[in-house]
């Protein structure tokens, strides 16, 4: 169905998840290769967020196995693992009582970096995500939605994780800011080259940002396709998506990676 | 004005009883915080414990204070000294607002903040001390404030079992049918309650996260 990588960074092996008698995920098998941006596309309740949270162990599978760098979560210390995985969510979840600088420095600090190194890293990251240095001393409530999400991305990148998990990170932003952040994400991804798993229900976003798109429906993986394949696909679910988003998607496909 | 003259004439005793009163309230509040805050934290993290714990604290709250003092009187070590007994009873009464506010304060922390913290690899204790408690502190303190104000009033009843405090004047005044003596206990107690309310309220505002 899709390319099999010899050493996937993330691998789902026949993963199922049941909660209170309901199947949230059924028999999911999926691999994520190093340096790619895999988009989990699906509507609300399709299981895409649950799938994402299995990577950093916020959710554990009922059956099957999730391997990160070849090891399951039972083999490794989940706390350590999470510190090596950047996590960005739609609500951002910045600590409201911390300044921007302290927010970005959370993981470096608990990892025992000294203050000078943290401060240098904070400045570097602010520049990377397109924020001015003076923002470092502000509090989250003093920022706009777009600035907050930029800080969220900077925080996720702080300890230079190899993997980045993003759960509808731009979903709550206005269209212009979303467009801007998507563009910046692409240029950022070219520079930092992380393995990214990106959750969205927006096909345009998926086509634009993803190197592959994993389409999910009702707890099952429907298909995994490249953006180009996706827009031409005759898979009923994929074509339903394409129809719902209307014309002009051909040109949206992979604008970023081409 | 007779009250003021009475207070001035008996100022050493007023001071002494005020100190006793503060001792009863201060120590019982400290105990209630030591028990109530950890309990509130536990039930905020284990929702199934929430009902039994809050229900127990609620039931204690409904026992009439004079009856509770009376019930505890025959207890061996406690009954030997009435101030111990009073402190225990006041501690029990102060528990409910402290547990409830700690629980509410921690549950009130934005779920996205907790989620992000966990996802970044914070341990449970890092999450508690760096995120949950700092964000809940003003709600917890407002529970402490309610507890202190209630205790200052309740502690006057402790005089009924001989535990001292400003209630001594009140009960003596009642027996003597002398308003001056009643007010000599009631006025300083009211002032204490106001001061405690103001003091903890100030702390609460100071520590409120932005």
CA distance B5 to A249: 90
The residues, any chain, with a CB within 8 Å of residue A174's CB and separated by 6 or more, are A145, A146
Q: Which residue of A has its CA nearest to B209?
A: A97
**Among residues A185, A34, A161, A188, which one has the least CA distance to residue A87?**
A161
Q: Which residues in chain B are contacts of A85 at CB distance < 8 A?
A: 119, 121
A191-249 tens-digit pLDDT: 888 999 999 999 999 999 999 999 999 999 999 999 999 999 999 999 999 888 876 66
Q: Quote the pLDDT of residue A251.
A: 62
Q: Which residue of B has its CA nearest to A107?
A: B120
Report yes or no: A163 at the B interface, CB cutoff 8 Å: no
Q: Quote the pLDDT of residue B47.
A: 87
Kindly give the confidence (pLDDT) of every residue in chain B, 210 residues in length, as a single tens digit, with 9 standing for 90 and above: 688 888 889 899 999 999 999 999 999 999 999 999 999 999 999 989 999 999 999 999 888 888 888 888 888 887 778 888 899 999 999 999 999 999 999 999 999 999 999 999 999 999 999 999 999 999 999 999 999 999 999 999 988 888 889 999 999 999 999 999 999 999 999 999 999 999 999 999 998 876
Do B24 and B82 form a contact (C-beta atoms < 8 A)? no
Q: Quote the pLDDT of residue B161.
A: 85
As beta bridge partners, residue A11 has A31, A67
Is residue A181 over pLDDT 50? yes
Q: Quote the pLDDT of residue A246.
A: 76
CA distance A85 to A163: 5
- Partner-chain contact A79 B120, CB within 8 Å: no
pTM (2 d.p.): 0.87
- Partner-chain contact A80 B209, CB within 8 Å: no
What distance in Å separates residue B52's CA from the closest CA in chain A?
A: 24
Is residue A5 over pLDDT 70? no
What distance in Å separates residue B40's CA from the closest CA in chain A?
A: 21
Q: Which residue of B has its CA nearest to A95?
A: B113
Q: Quote the pLDDT of residue A157.
A: 94
What distance in Å separates residue B146's CA from the closest CA in chain A?
A: 25
Dihedral sign for Cα atoms in the order B45, B51, B56, B60: positive
Measured CA to CA in angstroms, residue A163 lies from A82, A159, A189 at distances of 10, 11, 11
- Partner-chain contact A139 B210, CB within 8 Å: yes
Q: Quote the pLDDT of residue A2.
A: 47
- The whole-number average pLDDT for the span A128-151 is 94
CA distance A161 to B113: 20
Q: Which residue of A has its CA nearest to B207?
A: A97
CA distance B182 to B167: 9
A6-58 tens-digit pLDDT: 689 999 999 999 999 899 999 999 999 999 999 999 999 999 999 999 999 99
- Partner-chain contact A89 B122, CB within 8 Å: no
Q: Which residue of B has its CA nearest to A103?
A: B117
**Among residues B89, B101, B106, B99, which one has the least CA distance to residue B57?**
B99
From the list A58, A97, A139, the residue facing B119 with the nearest CB is A58
Q: Quote the pLDDT of residue A4.
A: 52
Residues of B with CB under 8 A from a CB of A: 110, 112-123, 126, 130-131, 134-135, 209-210
Assign B112 to helix, strand or coil.
Answer: helix
Q: Report the run of H or E that residue A3 belongs to, with start and end.
A: none
- Partner-chain contact B121 A97, CB within 8 Å: no
CA distance A81 to A84: 5
- The whole-number average pLDDT for the span A118-145 is 95
């Amino acid at each position: 169905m899709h390319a099999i990588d010899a050493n996937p960074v993330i691998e789902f092996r026949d993963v199922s998840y049941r909660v209170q008698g309901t199947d949230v995920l059924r028999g999911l098998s999926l691999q994520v290769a190093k340096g790619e941006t895999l988009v989990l596309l699906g509507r609300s309740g399709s299981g895409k967020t649950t799938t994402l949270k299995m990577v950093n162990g916020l959710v554990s599978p009922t059956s099957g196995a999730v391997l990160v760098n070849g090891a399951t979560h039972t083999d490794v210390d989940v706390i350590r693992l999470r510190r090596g995985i950047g996590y960005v969510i739609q609500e951002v979840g910045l600590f409201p009582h911390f300044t921007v600088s302290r927010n970005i420095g959370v993981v470096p600090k608990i990892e025992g970096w000294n203050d000078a190194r943290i401060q240098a890293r904070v400045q570097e990251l602010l520049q990377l995500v397109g924020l001015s240095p003076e923002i470092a001393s502000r509090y989250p409530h003093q920022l706009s939605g777009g600035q907050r999400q930029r800080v969220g991305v900077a925080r996720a990148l702080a300890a230079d994780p190899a993997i980045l998990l993003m759960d509808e990170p731009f979903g709550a932003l206005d269209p212009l800011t979303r467009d801007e952040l998507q563009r910046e994400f692409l240029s950022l991804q070219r520079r930092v080259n992380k393995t990214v798993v990106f959750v969205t229900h927006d096909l345009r976003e998926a086509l634009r940002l993803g190197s592959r798109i994993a389409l999910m429906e009702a707890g099952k993986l429907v298909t995994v396709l490249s953006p180009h394949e996706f827009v031409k696909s005759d898979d009923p679910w994929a074509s339903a998506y394409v129809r719902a988003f209307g014309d002009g998607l051909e040109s949206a496909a992979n604008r970023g990676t081409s | 004005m007779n009250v003021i003259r009475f207070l001035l004439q008996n100022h050493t005793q007023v001071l002494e009883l005020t100190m006793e009163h503060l001792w009863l309230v201060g120590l019982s509040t400290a105990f209630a915080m030591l028990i109530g805050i950890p309990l509130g934290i536990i039930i905020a993290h284990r929702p199934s414990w929430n009902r039994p714990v809050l229900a127990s604290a609620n039931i204690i709250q409904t026992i009439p204070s004079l009856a509770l003092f009376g019930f505890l009187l025959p207890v061996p070590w406690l009954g030997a000294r009435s101030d111990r007994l009073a402190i225990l009873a006041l501690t029990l009464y102060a528990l409910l607002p402290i547990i409830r506010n700690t629980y509410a304060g921690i549950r009130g922390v934005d779920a996205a903040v907790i989620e992000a913290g966990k996802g970044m690899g914070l341990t449970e204790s890092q999450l508690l001390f760096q995120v949950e408690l700092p964000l809940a502190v003003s709600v917890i303190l407002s529970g402490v404030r309610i507890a202190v104000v209630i205790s200052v009033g309740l502690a006057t009843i402790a005089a009924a079992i001989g535990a001292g405090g400003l209630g001594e004047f009140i009960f003596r005044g009642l027996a003597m049918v002398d308003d001056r003596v009643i007010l000599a206990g009631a006025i300083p107690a009211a002032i204490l309650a106001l001061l405690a309310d103001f003091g903890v309220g100030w702390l609460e505002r100071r520590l409120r996260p932005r």
